[in-house]
Amino acid sequence: MRKNNLHFTSLLLAVILFGMTACSPQKIMEHGNYDDALHHALNKVRGKKNKKQKHVTVIEEAFRKANTRDMAAINRLKREGAPENWVRIYDIAQRIAYRQSKIEPLLPLNDKEGFQAGFTFVKTEVILREAREKAAASLYARAGKLLDEARLGNKEAARDAHNLLGSIDKYKKDYRNQYAMMNEATELGIVHVLFKVKNNAPVFLPREFESELLRMSLNELNSRWKKFYTRPTTRPFDYEVVMNITNISISPEQIREREFEEVKEVDDGFEYARDKRGNVRLDTLGNRIRIPRTKFVNAWVLETFQNKAAHVEGRLEYYRPNRGGLVTSKPMAAEAIFENHAATFRGDRRALSSETCRIIDNNPIPFPSDAALLFDAAEQLRPVIRRHIAGSRLVG
């Protein structure tokens, strides 16, 4: 057992030592991760007077290799001559500047043997100044081409132009007429949606029904790129969402009555227990023994049930007025139900069940009008319509 424990301990130490070696700055650098190697090595020397030579050497080499790699990438991108490359050049120059800012506070960097690391710094200010100007110009030009497409009706291009123009702020503030172009891109990129109700049912639809559906809080669905309306305007709409009512049914007023009896065994006082001779029996404490007495009571219940319902069916239809009409549709339905339970009784109230007690003394009430029931159905239909519109992908 002891031999096995020693073997396990040795294996564990070997794994730990291997992990420490594998994660050393030197190993990280050998895998080409120069900035990671630099980061680890800087953590090992920062704040220490006696710096190990191997760590200082890694810092020197990783810094040189990282800067050489990045400058080669910048020169390659410049040779390619693509205007959009300046965004990438700017990012690389920023990385070089950040790397150099980590080294500068440590200079001169010497190890405990007296070796001094050498560093060649890149003048990133010159590169960044040029990259800022040309990246902004490139983004501006690309946004301008997209805006030309947007003016022809391409709303996706308008949104892309808006995003490109917004990203110019990273390089230049208030560049040319950047913000005026952003305002135009916003206006061209918005999808305008009109919601309306049509009654194609073979019955009259009260005005209140349409008004209730149009009372939806569609403003809450508005976003940068979507705007909803419930009234026509002079503006052309990209979509018309129509709640097309195809069927309305209202049941007749129904009154059902039933009479039934309820019976229950209830307490009815007590009597004393007696022995065979008729004497009252006593318990061990000398008290007279009582026997509970019960009896059955009954009540006759007259129950009245009132019922009336309104059912509305239709389809929520999505139209592109300028692009071929109907795009898609979805069935919609809602039902408003009026119910009332009332009951009276004669007999002993103690016989009534708990269910019957809940409706006793309720009275029949007037039935709601057809219009009132349809209004209730509209209230139920409205949030269903709103959820579906909110989940729909309305694009330009």
Q: What would the two tokens of residue 246 be?
A: 């195809």
What is the count of structural domains for the chain?
3
Same domain, 168 and 211: no
Give me the helix-helix angle, 178-189 and 155-167, nearest 10°: 150
CA atoms within 13 A on the CB side of 71: 13
% the chain with pLDDT above 70: 94
Question: pLDDT tens, 219-244?
Answer: 888 888 999 998 888 888 999 999 99
Residue 215: CATH number of its domain: 3.30.160
Secondary structure element (H or E) that encloses residue 150, with its range: helix 124-150
Determine if residue 361 is left, alpha or beta; phi over 0 gives left, psi from -120 to 50 gives alpha, anything else beta: left
Question: pLDDT tens, 359-393?
Answer: 998 899 999 999 999 989 988 998 899 899 988 88
Q: What would the two tokens of residue 69 be?
A: 């790699």
Residue 210: exposure state from Cβ atoms within 10 A (0-12, 13-18, ≥19): middle
pLDDT at 184: 97
Closest among 197, 190, 243 to 394, alpha carbons compared = 190
Question: pLDDT tens, 32-50?
Answer: 899 999 999 999 898 888 8
For tokens 């139900």, the residue is 337
Q: Is residue 55 part of a domain?
A: yes
Average pLDDT over residues 90-97: 97
Contact 245, 199 (CB under 8 A): yes
The answer, yes or no, to whether residue 59 has pLDDT greater than 90, is yes
In the chain, what are the helix, strand and coil shares in percent, each to the nearest 5? 45, 25, 25
Same domain, 71 and 173: no
Q: Is residue 41 part of a domain?
A: yes
Give me the helix-helix angle, 85-103 and 124-150, nearest 10°: 150
Average pLDDT over residues 156-160: 96
For residue 88, the enclosing domain spans: 2-122
Looking at the DSSP bridge assignments, the partners of residue 347 are 299
Q: Is residue 127 part of a domain?
A: no
> What is the pLDDT confidence band of residue 271, given thresholds at 50, 70 and 90?
confident
Give the predicted TM-score (pTM) of the model. Answer: 0.69
The answer, yes or no, to whether residue 294 has pLDDT greater than 60, is yes
Secondary structure element (H or E) that encloses residue 325, with its range: strand 325-347
pLDDT at 239: 93
